């Protein structure tokens, strides 16, 4: 959508790709502490089914939508609501939860 009021390319990357820099930084910090096992990155894929109203209620709290002027947000919500209605009133959204974990193997600096 060339006239979209937000950056679709940023939204298309998705959370796992978009957060990779943060995950790498967390793993590097764990390594620098020298008191944890080698960090591991975990990913859990899951889905959630949204009704039209549930999606429209949460949409303004997400990413680019938080920066839209209220008139543009109303326009987007109207179009999204119509699209969800056309799909039968609900849809299933895929998600990925990602994390970095490590086991404490020594004493953390500054702790007793």
Query: Tens digits of per-residue pLDDT, 5-46?
Result: 445 454 555 556 778 999 999 999 999 999 999 999 999 999
Query: Tens digits of per-residue pLDDT, 48-60?
Result: 999 999 999 999 9
pLDDT class for 104, splitting at 50, 70, 90? very high
Share of the chain above pLDDT 70, in %: 82
Mean pLDDT of the chain: 86
For the chain, give every domain's residue range. Answer: 8-101
What SS3 string covers the chain? CCCCCCCHHHHHHCHHHHCHHHHHHHHHHHHHHCCECCCEEEEEEEEEEEEHHHHHHHHHHCHHHHHCCHHHHHHHHHHHHHHHHHCCCEEEEEEEEEEEECCECCCCCCCC
Across the range 67-77, mean pLDDT stands at 95
């Amino acid at each position: 959508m060339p006239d979209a009021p937000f950056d679709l390319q940023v939204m298309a990357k998705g959370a796992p790709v978009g957060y990779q820099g943060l995950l790498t930084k967390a793993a590097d910090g764990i390594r620098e502490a020298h008191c944890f096992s080698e960090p591991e990155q975990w990913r859990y894929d899951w889905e959630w089914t949204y009704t039209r109203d549930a999606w429209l209620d949460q949409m303004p709290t997400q990413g680019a939508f938080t920066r839209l002027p209220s008139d543009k947000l109303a326009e987007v919500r109207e179009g999204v609501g119509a699209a969800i209605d056309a799909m039968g009133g609900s849809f299933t959204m895929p998600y990925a939860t990602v994390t970095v974990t490590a086991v404490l193997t020594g004493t953390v600096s500054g702790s007793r």
